[in-house]
Amino acid sequence: MRVADVRGQDGRWGVVMSARTARWVAAWLAVGSIALIAGGLALAYLDRHLLSVGASTWNFSNVLNGVTLLAIPVIGFVVASRRPGNRIGWLFLAAGLASGVNVFSQSYGLRALLAAPGSLPAGRAAMWLSSWTLVVPIGAFAFLLLLFPTGQLRSPRWRPAAWFVGGVFALWTAVVLVGATRFWSHPFSGPLSQAVTPPVVAVLMVLGPAALVTGVAAVVVRFVRSAGEERLQLKWFAAAAVPAVVTFIASVLTGSAIASVLSRLAFLWLYDARHIPMGSGLRNMADRLAALGGRLEVQSVPTRGTTITGHLPTGSSPAPMIRP
Q: What CATH code would you report for 3-280?
A: 1.20.1070
Give domain limits for the chain. Answer: 3-280, 282-324
122 vs 131: CA distance, rounded Å: 15
DSSP H or E stretch at residue 284: helix 282-291
- pLDDT in the model for residue 46: 95
Interior/surface letters 47-65, b for 16+ CB within 10 angstroms, e for the rest: beeebeeeebbbeeebebb
Q: Is the CB of residue 166 less than 8 Å from the CB of residue 134?
A: no
Q: What is the pLDDT of residue 7?
A: 43
Q: Rounded CA gap, 159 and 165, in Å?
A: 10
Does residue 163 contact residue 169 with C-beta atoms inside 8 Å? no
Query: Which pLDDT tens digits describe the chain residue by residue (324 residues)?
Result: 343 433 443 444 455 677 888 899 999 999 999 999 999 999 999 999 999 888 889 998 899 999 999 999 999 999 999 888 899 999 999 999 999 999 999 999 999 999 999 999 999 999 999 999 999 999 999 999 999 988 999 999 999 999 999 999 999 999 999 888 988 888 887 676 677 788 888 899 999 999 999 999 999 999 998 877 778 788 888 888 889 999 999 988 887 888 888 888 888 888 764 455 544 455 556 656 666 677 767 665 555 666 777 777 775 454 444 444
pTM of the model: 0.79
Q: What letter would DSSP give residue 274?
A: G
* Burial classification of residue 44, based on how many CB atoms lie within 10 Å of its CB (0-12 exposed, 13-18 middle, 19 or more buried): buried
Spatial neighbors of 272 by CB under 8 A, at least 6 apart, are 236, 240
Q: Are 196 and 262 within 8 A, CB to CB?
A: no
Q: How far is CA 32 from CA 25, 128, 231, in A?
A: 11, 20, 34
What's the pLDDT at 246? 92
**Pairing of the two strands 13-17 and 3-7:** antiparallel
Mean pLDDT computed over every residue of the chain: 83
- In angstroms, the Cα distances linking 123 to 8, 115, 118, 302 are 44, 11, 8, 54
Tens of pLDDT, residues 24-73: 999 999 999 999 999 999 999 999 999 988 888 999 889 999 999 999 99
